[in-house]
């Protein structure tokens, strides 16, 4: 889809399952189950949505998904039933993993950064995008390198270290413009070093909010996942970004919605409605 000087493409890398209560925090099950019906184990299905941005001769990927270098235990834990679709989706756009120049990671949880590596023909873990620089907030990197008992299962630390070993890692602090019209903003909330991506060219504006607003079902301020380490920070950031989208016409991208990938927002009474602009 043309977006000012950019071309943007939403890519579903895979789908996974997570406990429904974990995704909706303090919201009672009697409410959230109407939005996301759970299975017999209380698990709900989410898509892993990525964004490909083409600009100035560069191919930029925002988040990378789970990938295919998962153990059987990890596949079971995340309810992964199929192989990653990323290479196939890139091929449909006449691209390969070697043609990705920049990878922006909102944070380093497995469903967003698991695919930074792949297994080569010898079964060795190597960078999945060998010609890319991988941009991460310094605070997030520190958290992933030293997880505690609560966060250790969410970070594939040994895989992430390969980026540093191969000198592909680029750490930033706070706001940073990584390409013309593409700005990173550190938010915290979901994780200490979570960041969002703002893409802007004149009157074309898009917000990749990552796990601050993961789906259309999380537009209400208190609908915050219990896995967020700092939920009040998430709520504050959500208020700010929703105001920006409503008042200034920013398109909002959802990283885990099953149906809506990119949307325009509109306030109707006390509710926010979405208009799907991609499918």
Question: Residues 66-115: pLDDT tens digits?
Answer: 999 999 999 999 999 999 999 999 999 999 999 999 999 999 999 999 99
Instruction: Check the CA dihedral 110-65-13-50 and report its sign.
Output: positive
Nearest CA-CA partner of 102 in 41, 35, 53: 53
DSSP state of 52: E
Q: Which DSSP category does 97 fall into?
A: G
Q: What Cα–Cα distance (Å) separates residue 53 from each residue in 131, 155, 156? A: 16, 26, 26
CB 89 within 8 A of CB 11: yes
**What is the CATH architecture assignment of 2-276?**
4-Layer Sandwich (3.60)
pTM of this structure: 0.96
Q: For residue 49, give Cα distances in angstroms to 16, 151, 214, 227.
A: 11, 22, 10, 19
pLDDT at position 278 is 83
Work out the number of other CB atoms within 10 angstroms of the CB of residue 107.
Answer: 27
The pLDDT, as a whole number, for residue 32 is 97
* pLDDT value, residue 37: 96
Inter-residue contact 34 to 78 (CB < 8 Å)? no
Residues of the chain with pLDDT under 70: 279
């Amino acid at each position: 889809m043309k977006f000012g000087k950019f071309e943007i493409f939403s890519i579903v890398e895979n789908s996974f399952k997570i406990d429904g209560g974990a995704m909706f925090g303090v919201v009672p099950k009697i409410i959230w189950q109407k939005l996301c019906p759970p299975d017999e184990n209380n698990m709900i299905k989410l898509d892993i949505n990525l964004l490909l941005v083409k600009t100035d001769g560069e191919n930029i990927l925002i988040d990378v998904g789970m990938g295919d270098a998962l153990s059987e235990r990890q596949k079971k834990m995340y309810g992964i039933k199929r192989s990653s679709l990323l290479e196939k989706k890139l091929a449909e756009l006449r691209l390969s993993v070697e043609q990705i120049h920049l990878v922006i990671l909102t944070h380093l949880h497995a469903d967003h950064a698991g695919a930074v590596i792949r297994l080569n023909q010898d079964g060795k873990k190597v960078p999945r995008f060998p010609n890319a620089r991988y941009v991460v907030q310094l605070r997030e990197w520190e958290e992933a390198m030293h997880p505690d008992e609560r966060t250790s299962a969410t970070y594939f630390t040994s895989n992430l270290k390969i980026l540093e070993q191969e000198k592909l890692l680029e750490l930033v602090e706070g706001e940073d413009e990584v390409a013309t019209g593409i700005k990173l903003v550190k938010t915290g909330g979901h994780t200490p070093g979570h960041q969002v991506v703002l893409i802007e060219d004149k009157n074309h504006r898009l917000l990749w909010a990552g796990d601050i607003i993961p789906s259309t079902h999380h537009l209400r301020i208190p609908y915050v996942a219990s896995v967020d380490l700092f939920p009040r920070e998430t709520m504050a950031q959500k208020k700010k970004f929703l105001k920006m989208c409503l008042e200034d016409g920013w398109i909002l991208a959802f990283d885990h919605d099953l149906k809506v990938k990119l949307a325009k927002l509109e306030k109707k009474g006390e509710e926010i409605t979405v208009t799907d602009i991609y499918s």
